C-alpha cells in the first residue's frame, strides 16, 4: 500500500512538472495572435505637456540652423528671427571669420545670409537673410530683469546638427559672469540646466510663455557635452545691443583697458576687489597711472570702487562703465601697497583696440 501511494505521488509530481514546462509552449500555440494589438485610449495631455507642445509649435518655426564657412573651416550653430524685415540673431563665435553664411529654416528651405553687425564682447551677431519670401514671425521678447531661480526654461536649437530640438529645465542661477574676448566679462548671465550642447549656440532661451529671455551661448563641461550647466546672454542686453548692430554694424564697448586677474586669485589672496594683472598699451588706464601686477613686478593695483561704489569683481566695473559715455571720466578707488588712492580714468571704446 505504501509503495503504491509513493508511486502515485511521484506520477502526480511528474505530471505537474511536465505541465509547468509545457505551459509556455502551449500558450504560444493556442493563445498567441498575429493580429495588431488594440490601441488603448488615453486622456488629454497634462496641462504642462499641452503648454510645452504649444510653446514649441509657436516658436520653433522662427528658429534657424546656421552654417558658416571661413578661413578656419566650417562652423555651425543656431539663430532666430529678430524682426519682420529679415534680420536674425546668433552668437558671434558661430559666424566669426565667416566668408559664407547659410541658414536653414524650419521648413527645410536653405537661404543665404550675411553678417551685418558683430559685437564680440557680447558674443552677438546680426544676420541679414537674403530672401524676399515671407519669413516666420519674430520671437516675442520677454525680460531678463525679473527672472527667478527655479522658473521653467526652454531651449530650442540644433545640437550636433540635429535641428529643431527642444530641451527643458529651469533657471538654475542668475547673475553669473561670462568671460568674453578682450579680457571682458558679461554680467548678469543666465544659468540653466536645460540641455545645451555644441550647435545650440545662438539659439533662444525661452520662458514658459514662449518669450525670449536669453541667447544660449556657452556650456560648462569638461567633456564638451552637456553637464547641466549652460549659459545665456540676458535678453535685456540683447535688446540693447542688436538694434545698434543693425544700425551701425558695431557697438561701442566702454572700458579703461585693463586685464584683470582670475577671481580665484583674488579669493585666495583674501582680496575683495579687482586685481589688475596688466594695463593695455596706450589705454586710458595706463595713461592715468594704473599699475598692473605683471607690469610692476608684483606692485600692482587693486580696484575696490568706482564713483564711490564698491566693486568686488570685473562684472561690477563693466556694469558701471556701461552706463557712461565715451570720453567721460570716472574715479576709481584703488589699493596700492596697502594704501588707498583715487585715480581719474577716461572711458574709451576698447572695442576699437
Catalytic residues, by residue number, are 93, 123, 201
Joined together, the cell numbers standing for residue 42 give: 488615453
Residue with cell 500500500: 1
CA–CA separation, 333 vs 303, rounded Å?
Answer: 6
Q: Residue written as cell 530650442?
A: 156
Torsion from C-alpha of 227, 228, 231, 234, nearest 10 degrees? 170
Quote the CA–CA distance of 82 and 170 in Å, as a whole number: 24
CB burial of residue 174 (10 Å; 0-12, 13-18, 19+)? middle
Q: Nine-digit cell at 183? A: 579680457
| Strand 152-157 relative to strand 165-179, pairing | antiparallel
CA-nearest of 325, 318, 332, 331 to 348 is: 325
Q: How many residues are present in the chain? A: 353
Using CA atoms, how far residue 137 sits from 63, 85, 103, 133, 293, in Å, is: 10, 10, 16, 12, 51
Among residues 32, 253, 23, the alpha carbon closest in space to that of 124 is found at 253
DSSP string for 261-303: PPHHHHHHTT--SEEEEEE-TT-HHHHTT---TTTTTS--EEE
Which among 176, 140, 171 has a CA at the least distance from the CA of 154? 171
Give the C-alpha separation, 24 to 10, whole Å.
Answer: 23
Beta strand 63-70 pairing with 73-81: antiparallel
Amino acid at each position: 500500500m505504501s509503495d503504491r501511494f509513493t508511486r502515485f505521488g511521484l506520477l502526480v509530481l511528474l505530471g505537474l512538472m511536465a505541465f509547468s514546462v509545457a505551459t509556455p509552449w502551449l500558450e504560444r500555440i493556442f493563445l498567441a495572435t498575429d493580429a495588431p494589438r488594440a490601441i488603448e485610449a488615453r486622456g488629454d495631455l497634462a496641462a504642462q505637456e499641452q503648454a510645452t507642445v504649444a510653446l514649441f509649435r509657436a516658436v520653433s518655426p522662427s528658429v534657424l540652423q546656421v552654417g558658416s564657412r571661413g578661413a578656419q573651416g566650417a562652423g555651425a550653430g543656431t539663430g532666430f528671427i529678430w524682426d519682420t524685415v529679415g534680420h536674425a540673431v546668433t552668437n558671434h563665435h558661430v559666424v566669426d571669420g565667416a566668408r559664407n553664411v547659410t541658414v536653414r529654416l524650419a521648413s527645410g528651405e536653405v537661404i543665404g545670409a550675411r553678417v551685418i553687425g558683430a559685437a564680440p564682447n557680447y558674443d552677438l551677431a546680426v544676420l541679414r537673410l537674403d530672401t524676399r519670401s515671407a519669413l516666420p514671425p519674430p520671437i516675442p521678447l520677454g525680460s531678463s530683469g525679473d527672472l527667478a531661480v527655479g522658473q521653467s526654461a526652454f531651449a530650442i536649437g540644433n545640437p550636433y546638427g540635429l535641428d529643431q530640438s527642444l530641451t527643458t529645465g529651469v533657471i538654475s542661477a542668475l547673475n553669473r559672469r561670462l568671460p568674453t574676448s578682450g579680457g571682458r566679462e558679461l554680467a548678469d548671465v543666465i544659468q540653466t540646466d536645460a540641455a545645451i550642447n555644441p550647435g545650440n549656440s545662438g539659439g533662444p532661451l525661452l520662458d514658459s510663455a514662449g518669450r525670449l529671455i536669453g541667447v544660449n551661448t556657452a556650456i560648462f563641461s569638461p567633456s564638451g557635452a552637456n553637464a547641466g550647466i549652460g549659459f545665456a546672454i540676458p535678453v535685456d542686453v540683447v535688446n540693447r545691443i542688436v538694434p545698434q548692430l543693425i544700425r551701425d554694424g558695431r557697438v561701442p564697448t566702454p572700458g579703461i583697458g585693463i586685464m584683470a586677474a582670475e577671481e580665484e586669485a583674488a579669493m585666495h589672496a583674501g582680496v575683495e576687489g579687482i586685481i589688475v594683472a596688466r594695463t593695455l598699451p596706450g589705454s586710458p588706464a595706463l595713461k592715468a597711472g594704473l599699475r598692473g601686477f605683471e607690469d610692476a613686478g608684483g606692485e600692482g593695483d587693486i580696484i575696490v570702487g568706482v564713483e564711490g561704489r564698491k566693486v568686488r569683481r570685473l562684472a561690477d566695473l563693466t556694469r558701471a562703465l556701461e552706463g557712461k559715455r565715451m570720453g567721460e571720466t570716472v574715479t576709481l578707488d584703488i589699493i596700492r601697497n596697502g594704501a588707498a588712492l583715487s585715480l581719474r580714468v577716461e572711458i574709451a571704446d576698447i572695442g576699437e583696440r
